[in-house]
Structures are given as C-alpha cells and as structure tokens.
Structure 1
Amino acid sequence: MAIAKAERLMNLALCLLGSGRPLSKRELRTSIEAYMEVGSEDAFNRMFERDKDDLRELGMVIETVESLEGEIGYVARRDRNRLPPVALDAEEAAALVLAARVWQQARLAGAASGALQKLRAAGMPLAEEERETYAALEPRVPAGEAAFEPLMIACRDRRPVTFDYRKSNAVRPETRQVEPWALECWRGHWYLAGFDRDRGAERVFRLSRITGRVRSRAGAFTVPVPGQVAVRESVERFAGENATAQARIRLRTGSGYPLRARATSTARHDAEWDELEIPYGHGLDAWLAEFGPDVIVLGPAELRADVMERLRAVAKG
C-alpha cells in the first residue's frame, strides 16, 4: 500500500510539473493509471484531495487556476518548485562523508555511497587536507540482526508486524503483534519501540531477542505514533538509562569495564573481587546477566532475584 501511494504521488507530481499548463481533475484522472482504477467519482475526489495535500506538505507548490470557462485546473510551475544549488562548506561535506561511513550493511551502504556520488557530481569536492583530518574517524552503527531491515521498513511505511520474541527470562519465544514506531541504538544494541496489540500498551523489544522472520501485516495503526523524543525516552527507560536507585554488586577484578564506567563508587573486596555501586533502573538485570560468573549481585534483593531468574532461564535453554 505504501509503495502504491508513493508511486501515485510521484505520477501526480510529474503530471503537474510536466504539463506546462493547468490540468483539470478530469484530465488528471485519465492520465494517471491509479486514478483510472478508482470506481466512483467521489472516491477519486477524496483520493485526489489527499494526494494534493500530501504533495503540498512535502513542499511542492501547487497552484489552483480557474479558466475562462470556469473550470478549475492545477499546475506546479518549475520555477517555483526548483531547489536552490547545493552549497556545502568543508566541514559540512566532511560530516556527510562520516555519516555515510556509519552504515555498513549492503543495502544501506549502497544508498549512502550513491548519495555521496550525486553530491560530488553536483560540485562537492572534499579537499585532501579535510580527508586527512577525518580519516582516523571510523564511525559504526552495528545492525547485524536479521530483524533490523524489515523492521526499519515497517517503521518507515507504518505497517504492523508480527514476530516471535523470547524474553531473557523465558525458555520459549512468544508471538507478538506490534505497531512499530521507531528503532533506537543504545549501548551497541538495537531496540524497537512500538504498541503491543496483545497487551494494549507501549513496549520496547531488543532486536537480538527476536527469533525467526518478521512478518508484515495488512491494516493501519490503531494508536497515534508519539514523537521521536518520547520514543527515545522509552528505549532509555527500558534499557536502564534512567536510574531510580543504586545497586551493589561484586565484580571480578579485571572484568566488566562497561559496569566500572557507570559505577558511582568502587572499592576493593579482596584479591579477586571488587565491590561497586551502580545506578539501578529498568533493564539492569538483563545487562548484569550478560556478565555471567563475573558478577555477584549483593542488593537490592529484587534485582538479585531477577538476575538469578534470567540465568536459570539461560541454563534451561
């Protein structure tokens, strides 16, 4: 559905730009295949008005013109819909090059490389000294999970999805029906924020725990999509960024450097163990469980119980 609409909008934009004169609704309906397939006149009128509004929201200037016979026509004049020349200074050009290096997956890397080639063809050379200045920077955004690409497309197209998800303390995965809002990367892991239809509430899912194939579903979203800032805050709460208390752990000497970086206090316990205090928020139990035998949770008691439950689930699996 999203692809069909995009194609229809593109065809309408090309008609309005290429005609050189105002076109009536009747002429547009007989010129664009998608409009020809619409059964009733009322349905066509509604579709056309939505499409026209969508193009205007995207920045296209569409003029409404009335002919001498009183017929309404529409035209998008090229001089009013031409983008200004691309002009980038050296720092802006270098920032684009760094951004293009971030994505390493084949599909995304090809799009980023193609965009740079087009900008260079439009006159965006990057000076040698600028290349050398930024050559040492090699940014990466890992996205190796198989679920990343289909979920990215589903978020973009606003399409509900179904997938099997295994919680860290569960032996078997459960099927989830989700309206995907956005993907966020936090501490090297990708998370999906969205509306879980079965639970009737907002949920956050770690992509590495999605098993099997992500399947798209027909139909529209049933709840409004929140702003990007709200989605990011949801992921941070789930992943433990917003701490509400302090946890006390024992950490094996010479290990757990990410935990040490977050510690608010560190003391030597003996030759083998150190004792740390770290911020305690939602998701800390899952993170501590990843360190296995190198971590002992001293308190709070509920955190210790959660970590033990996760480790038992892993042992059973």
Structure 2
Amino acid sequence: MSETSARLLALLSLLQARRDWPGALLAERLEVSPRTVRRDVDRLRDLGYPVRASKGPDGGYRLDAGADLPPLLFDDDQAIAVAVALQTATTTVTGIEEGALRALATVRQVMPARLRQRVDALQVTTVDRYANRRTTVDSDQLIAIGMAVRAQEVLRFDYASPGATEDEWAPPRKVEPHHLVTWGGRWYLVGWDLDRKDWRTFRVDRMTPKTPTGPRFSTRELPAPDVATYISTRFKGQDQYPCIGEAILQAKASVIAQYADRRAIVEEVTPTSCRLVMSAWSWTGLAATFGMFECDLEFVGPQELKDAATQLAARYQEAVS
C-alpha cells in the first residue's frame, strides 16, 4: 500500500473515531504537516466523504453524514461484530432479509484473508428457548416507532387484541414512547399511556402506528433505574419455566390479578376482559392452570398450548362419560 493511501485510511479512521478534530492534533497524530492534512482531506472529499472544515484558531475537521453512503472503514473487532449482527438481524425483523445478505457479502468481500477466515468460522444459527413464541415485525414499523421515541413525540396507534377482528379493535392508544426493547423473541414498546396514566408495555407486532404523530413531550422518569431493570421486573419469573403461553380471559384484569401466580402477566384488553401470560413446567399443566379460572377463555398460543388443551379436554370428557 502506498504511503498516501495508508495515510488516507489512517485519517479516515481518526475522523470516524470522534466528532471533531483540531487540525493541529490531526497533523500530530499522522506525523505530517497541517498542509498535508488539508490535501488529504480534499482527497477524501473527492472520494465522497463529506468532511467539513472550520476556520479560526480552534479550527478543525468533522466527518458529516452525506447524501450517499461512502465506503466505511472498520477495525477487526468492528468487522466481526457487523458480520455476526447481519447474520442474526432477520430473526425478529422482516423486510431486511435481502439487504442484510447483500451487506454481509459486501463486508466479507473487502475483508483481508485473515479476517475473512474468522468471519467464515462464525456461521450463526439462532436457536433459543423462545423460538415457539418468536414474532417478527416490519422494519418500517420499527423505524416509525423509533423516530417517535427519538423525537419525543406522542405516538398514536391501533392496538390489536389477540383474536379480535379489525372491527373489534379498541380506540387508538395515545402513548409517550420511551424505549423500544426486545425480550423473549419479541419487540416491545415501553411508554406512558396518556389515557390510563400509567407505564405500559406494548407488543410491537400488534401495533399499527398512525400519522402524523402527536405533540412533543418531556421524558418522564421510569419507575426503575433503567429500562433493562424495568423490563426484567415487568416480566419477572416468566423465563424460569420452559412452557410459556397466553390466553384472553373474559374477566376483569383486576379480578384475575388477585388469583394469578405472581409470575403471571395480566393486561387489560377491555373493561371486562384481559390478557394473561403464564408459564409452567409442562404444556398440559399450563392448560390446566388456565382452566382454573371460572370464566370463558380463548387460547392465543403457542400451538403446543392449544394441543395440550385439546388433549386435556378429551381426557376430561372420557373421565365423566
């Protein structure tokens, strides 16, 4: 590699590492004159990198975002992290499959042989205990919600109750969105529900965001040190058993919450119905536990829970006949 090319790569790496660089400090780090730094910056601009220069005693350089995405420079650890992330990116987000594969091929193609061998050794297959309840969400939907979180704008959305038709959906929810999180193979939005005046979590795959978004708001403090603590507390105990299922119960959430296991999740669907998520050691035991509540219910899933309920019903029918 020529001395100029190597210096350009070093300059680009430095510009990517921090927001602003004084010209004198860049020259010192590269062991060249300030004039050489100016010439190298012009070369980067010719290659499509939007480098902004500021004048004055404290003048320097900044790598800005441009209209097009120029070639990126990764160190070894960054390149491996990107390759692994691209292989697992499509497990819960739809609409990015082709882009992820093309990006992985592009990154791999420009890697040196020593690094390509390490990446090729990391052929990732995602298998986890939540595979039977994993859901996917649309990338455009995630971006719309993420933009509302970043802009601190009230988010309005339709929220589909499990098993309900579109005509049976509740009025649009109005929420101050706080964080997008993943847990147990699903995407959730953590936000302050303006109608219920409380913190709530919403399954993103059941949300249909509306435009335009609402007014801006000042971020409230979570009832926990951070969002990770809040989520782990919210779903406390749900990952202790291998069988996790949910059902819609035709009873008030406040009533079911009095009798449900402390690890259960109870969420209001309508004033007279609620969603109940529970876990157990076996699917049959879980189905039997749901049946202990004296109200009509509808199993949402997964299929193993529905199959266990069918077997249990046949067993009970045989027992009384």
Please classify the TM superposition score into its range, dividing by the shorter chain length. Answer: 0.3 to 0.5
TM-score (norm 2): 0.47
